Structure 1
Amino acid sequence: MKSALLILGCLFTLFSFLPLIRTPLWWIRVLDFPRLHVAVILAVILVLYTTMYGVEGTWETLMVAAWVLGILNEIRYVYNFTPLAKVEALRTEVAKPTNAFTMMMANVRMVNKDYQKFLDVVLEEDPDMLVMNEPDQAWHDSVCQEMDKRYPYSIKKPLDNTYGMLFWSKFKLHNSEIRFNVEDDIPSFYTVVELPSGKKFDLFTVHPQPPRLMLNTETREAELLIVAKESKKTPYPSVVAGDLNDVAWSNTTKLFKEVSGMLDPRVGRGFYNTYNAHIPVFRYPLDHVFYDPAFRLVSLRRLRKFGSDHFPMTITLNYEPQHEAEQEHPHADLEDKMEAEELIQEGLEKGEERNREKQEERIEPKN
């Protein structure tokens, strides 16, 4: 038992500190996700070991100290997403917001066939805008008729590679584009949304690739940081939404916020975990919405599951540019900007490489 605790303690301490390495290697980046899990497991190991065997000698003291540092290292990442931390995105103080909109985000999971359950949630919530990640043609065909009746504006790109995207809006859209920022088969959407009052804002919807076996994260980083830069150039305040396949406390998300200057409504409020809906013990905040300080938060909710491995989310924001200066927001310094440029360049190069590989796979060998 003692040997097992020693091995596990050292292993989970390694899990805590490995993500400090700035690298896109998948087997390191996946450790960004279970920060809270590693902290809890390491704390249990620490309590069991010290209770059962005590701490004797310099070597054991140093080892236990390393475990404590590992726990504290993990906690410092997730702390901001607890009610103990200062709220970053302020709530509106307007009793009846007149420039408000509600957006629902849902990764429907392509292989999920519970179309009606999903529609039931949408119809119950009746959002002003709906972002769907992972829809294929079957999903499109199953929900399109109902959605088109209720939403006069849309952008559609269903795909059978789990990176399709659909967007519907009750509000008028301008300059809508389907973009392929890094990889030829992974789209993102851009549009200018016009509120009923005539006020406008930019909306970016994204769904980059996650870290997984033998697939590093260069393209994910590039996708997010390209959008972060673009959001700063547009003439209107911006909102970024979608399944980012990254947790809210990662260094990539932190850099995204600094480059874009956007707020995260989760900070100081909670995790609002959206994945995995099927496994309660292992849940992470992967579906996000970030927005310009010109908006104030009205509400943020996680909705009931409908068969996907993701919970849907809904957020209501009110456009209040007159109070923008009251919200502190992240800023990028020169070092942040240089790091972002390097990551974008690395991601674009990796994206070109993957595009060539996919193109070669599609070409049948000649006999």
Structure 2
Amino acid sequence: MENTLIILGFILTLFSFLPLISSPLWWIRVLDFPRLHVAVLLTIVLAAYLIFYGAASLGEYAMVTVWAIAILNELRYIINFTPLKKVEALRNKDKNPANAFTLMIANVRMVNDKYDKFLERVLHENPDMLIMNEPNQAWHDNVCKVLDERYPYSIKKPLENTYGMLFWSKNKLHDSEIRYLVEDGIPSFYTVVELPSGNKICLFTVHPQPPRLMLNTETREAELLLVAKQAKKAPYPSIVAGDLNDVAWSRTTKLFKEISSMIDPRVGRGFYNTYNAKIPVFRYPLDHVFYDQEFRLVSLRRLEKFGSDHFPIAITLSYEPQREEEQAHPHADQEDKQETNELIEEGLEKGEKKNQEKHQNQ
């Protein structure tokens, strides 16, 4: 048993420190996800070793010290999403804010066919705007009739490759675009939303590729950081939302926030894990909403599942530009900007190569 604990401790310690390497390799970046799991498991291993065997020799003392450092390394990432951290997104103070709206995000999972159950969730929530990730033509055909009657404005791009996207809005849309920022076949949306008050805001929706077996993350990083730069330069206060296929505590997400100067409503409040809805033990916050400091948070809620491997999430924001100076937000330094440009360049090169290979195989 002692050898088993030592081997487990070594493996978990490796899992803790490997993500410190700035590399897009999938087997490194996937370790950004289970920070909490690694911390819990390594704590159990450390406690078991000390209870049963102690740390009498210098070597044993050094080993358990390294394990403790590895646990602290994991905790320093996830502690920001607990009540121990000061909230980043301030609440609105009005009970009935005049300029509030609700945005619902749902990765529907392309192979999921529980269309009616999804529509029940949407109709019950009745959001002002709805983002759907992963819809194919079947999803489009099964929900359009109901949603088109309720939402007069939309942007639609169903696809059969799990990267389709649909967007509906009760509010008028302007200058809407379907963009392919890095890879052909992986769209993102841009639109200007006109609120009932006449104020305009910019909305960016994204769904980049995740790290998985033999699929590195260069294109994911490039797409997220390109959107961060676009949001920073947008003509109106901006929101970025969707399935980012990245956890809230990763270096990429931190860099995204610094470049865009956007706020994360999860900080100081909780994980709001949205994936995997089917496996309670392994859940991570993959569906995100980031926004400029002109907005105040009214509510953030994870909704009931409907058959997808993602929980839907709904956020209600109040547009209060007169109070933006009260709300702190991240800033990028020169090193952040340089790193961003390098990651974008690397991702665009990778995306162009994949696009060329795809066209050659067609």
TM-score (norm 2): 1.00
1:197-240 CA deviation, whole Å, 9 max, x = no partner?
Answer: 00000000000000000000000000000000001111100000
Residue equivalent to 2:276:
276
Displacement after TM superposition at 1:84 (Å): 1.2
Total equivalences in the alignment: 362
Residue equivalent to 2:138:
138
Does 2:65 match 1:59? no
Residue equivalent to 2:36:
36
Residue equivalent to 1:301:
301
- Secondary structure of 2:185 counterpart: coil
- Secondary structure of 1:190 counterpart: strand
- Secondary structure of 1:231 counterpart: helix
User: Residue type of the partner of 1:104?
Assistant: M
Residue equivalent to 1:365:
none
Residue equivalent to 2:207:
207
Residue equivalent to 2:147:
147
Question: 1: distance between equivalents of 2:351 and 2:46?
Answer: 43
Displacement after TM superposition at 1:358 (Å): 1.1
Question: 2: distance between equivalents of 1:285 and 1:105?
Answer: 13
Displacement after TM superposition at 1:83 (Å): 1.1
Residue equivalent to 1:357:
357
User: Residue type of the partner of 2:247?
Assistant: V
Equivalent runs, 1:133-212 vs 2, <5 Å? 133-212=133-212
Residue equivalent to 2:85:
85
Displacement after TM superposition at 1:54 (Å): 0.6
Where structure 2 has 5 or more consecutive residues not aligned to the other structure, the ranges are none
Question: 1: distance between equivalents of 2:297 and 2:110?
Answer: 31
Does 2:118 match 1:118? yes
User: Residue type of the partner of 1:112?
Assistant: N
Displacement after TM superposition at 1:96 (Å): 1.3
Displacement after TM superposition at 1:359 (Å): 1.1
Residue equivalent to 1:253:
253
User: Residue type of the partner of 1:66?
Assistant: V
Residue equivalent to 1:47:
47
Question: 1: distance between equivalents of 2:360 and 2:82?
Answer: 47
Question: 1: distance between equivalents of 2:275 and 2:55?
Answer: 39
1:241-268 CA deviation, whole Å, 9 max, x = no partner?
Answer: 0000000000000000000000000000
Q: Please report the RMSD computed on the Cα atoms of aligned residues, expressed in angstroms.
A: 0.4
Displacement after TM superposition at 1:95 (Å): 2.0
TM-score (norm 1): 0.98
Displacement after TM superposition at 1:323 (Å): 0.7
Displacement after TM superposition at 1:361 (Å): 1.8
Displacement after TM superposition at 1:36 (Å): 0.2
Displacement after TM superposition at 1:135 (Å): 0.1
Question: 2: distance between equivalents of 1:282 and 1:73?
Answer: 20
- Secondary structure of 1:91 counterpart: coil
After the TM superposition, which segments of 4 or more aligned residues of structure 1 sit over 2 Å from their partners?
none
Residue equivalent to 2:9:
9
- Secondary structure of 1:315 counterpart: strand
- Secondary structure of 1:346 counterpart: helix
Residue equivalent to 1:75:
75
Displacement after TM superposition at 1:357 (Å): 1.3
- Secondary structure of 1:18 counterpart: helix
Question: 1: distance between equivalents of 2:184 and 2:119?
Answer: 30
Where structure 1 has 5 or more consecutive residues not aligned to the other structure, the ranges are 363-367
Question: 2: distance between equivalents of 1:307 and 1:361?
Answer: 34
- Secondary structure of 2:297 counterpart: strand
Displacement after TM superposition at 1:45 (Å): 0.0
Residue equivalent to 1:219:
219
Identity %: 73
- Secondary structure of 2:132 counterpart: strand
- Secondary structure of 1:307 counterpart: coil
Displacement after TM superposition at 1:319 (Å): 0.4
User: Residue type of the partner of 1:290?
Assistant: F
